[in-house]
Amino acid sequence: MTLAPAVRKLTLTVHLTCSVGWIGAVVAYLTLGVAAVTTPDAQIVRAAWTAMDVTGWWAIVPLALAALATGLVLSLGTRWGLFRHYWVLISLAATLLCAVVLLLHMPSVSAVAAAGQGGAGGDLGHAGVGLAILLGIAVLNVYKPRGLTRYGWRRQQEERARVA
């Protein structure tokens, strides 16, 4: 299955927008987390955790799921394929890891926000590592290092034999 050029461009635009938006939302989340950890003002701590909860559920989670979905559509509908190149598989695995950790982590953020007490700085670790992984995925997707999987190599050989 190959996407029509207009559909591919639209899907790529949505994918890039969601991916960059996900990174930006995580930066905002980290900023709120730093404010919550460094201020002695209880009101700011409560407000920061409430904002982290809202940012997580209403921005980060939807952007993560949209980036994952559009990435799958692009990999299945373009020459890159889902199983042909190692960089695509690594990107998919890292994106899935980030999305799963995010979905498992957000209920605890909601609980802290609902309690209105603030929480430990461990939340910054999750967000910081997540941001580093997301930036790594971005670099991987821009540079697209060489390396075909066995399946990709086999498909390439079949295509060459068909053309010859």
Task: Kindly tell me the burial class for residue 87, based on how many C-beta atoms sit within 10 Å of its own C-beta (0-12, 13-18, 19 or more).
Answer: middle
Mean per-residue pLDDT over the chain, rounded: 94
Distance CA 125, CA 92 (A): 22
**Residue 137: predicted pLDDT:** 98
The model's pLDDT over 110-126, given as tens digits with 9 standing for 90+, comes to 999 999 877 766 578 99
The model's pLDDT over 42-80, given as tens digits with 9 standing for 90+, comes to 999 999 999 999 999 999 999 999 999 999 999 999 988
**Residue 94: predicted pLDDT:** 98
Distance CA 5, CA 11 (A): 10
Q: Output the CA angle 53-58-59, nearest 5 degrees.
A: 100
Dihedral, 123, 129, 131, 132 alpha carbons, nearest 10:
160
Name which of 45, 70, 60, 53 is nearest 101 in CA terms. Answer: 60
**Residue 157: predicted pLDDT:** 93
**Residue 161: predicted pLDDT:** 93
The values of phi and psi at residue 148, to 5°, are -90, 145
Domain ranges in the chain? 5-163
What residue spans of 2-121 are helical by DSSP H? 5-38, 42-55, 61-77, 86-115
**Residue 120: predicted pLDDT:** 64
Share of the chain above pLDDT 90, in %: 88
**Residue 164: predicted pLDDT:** 80
Distance CA 152, CA 127 (A): 34
| Mean per-residue pLDDT, 143-150 | 93
- Angle between the 42-55 and 5-38 helix axes, to the nearest 10 degrees? 160
**Residue 122: predicted pLDDT:** 59
* pLDDT above 90 for 1: no
The model's pLDDT over 83-107, given as tens digits with 9 standing for 90+, comes to 999 999 999 999 999 999 999 999 9
